[in-house]
Amino acid sequence: MTEPQKRWPGFNYEPVPGLMNRHISRYLRTQRKNMLRFFQERGLYVLAERMSQIRKSRQGMMAKNRMFQEVLNDYSKLVNPVVSSAPVPGSVLQPPPDDAAPSGEAANQ
């Protein structure tokens, strides 16, 4: 496999995995706190409680992130309801009804 490209070759910087992981976890922790505050401010206490339960669970980081994503997906479904794709009567974009279209036999009579 190819070696990953260095971001700033002039600095001779070698990323340290432990330090990178620490920055990533700090960022995610901040975002989770923001999400918890966001849900509490809007009165979505069920989602806020799920956030707390996930945080206190004894799962790995990846499993917790998956569960946090599920909470976000549930919130997204809550605020963005599914719009039905039924055509609006009289819309310009819908095809003409079958009985209004002239067929070969009806046009000859």
- pLDDT tens per residue, range 96-109: 666 655 555 555 55
- On whether residue 57 sits in a domain, the answer given is yes
Q: Which domain holds residue 57?
A: 14-80
Considering the domain boundaries, does residue 109 fall inside one? no
Measured distance CA(78)–CA(15) in Å, rounded: 40
Residues 87 and 93: beta-carbon distance below 8 Å: yes
Residue 104 lies in a domain: no
Tokens (6 digits) for 16: 């340290």
pLDDT value for 89: 66
Residue 94 in any domain: the answer is no
- Which among 52, 27, 31 has a CA at the least distance from the CA of 44? 52
Q: Is residue 4 part of a domain?
A: no
The more confidently predicted of residues 43 and 22 is 43
Note the pLDDT tens digit of each residue in 41-88: 988 898 889 988 888 888 887 888 888 889 888 888 888 877 766 666
Number of domains within the chain: 1
Q: Does 50 fall in a domain?
A: yes
**108 domain residue, yes or no:** no
**Residue 18: inside a domain, yes or no?**
yes
Residue 35 binned pLDDT confidence (cut-offs 50, 70, 90)? confident
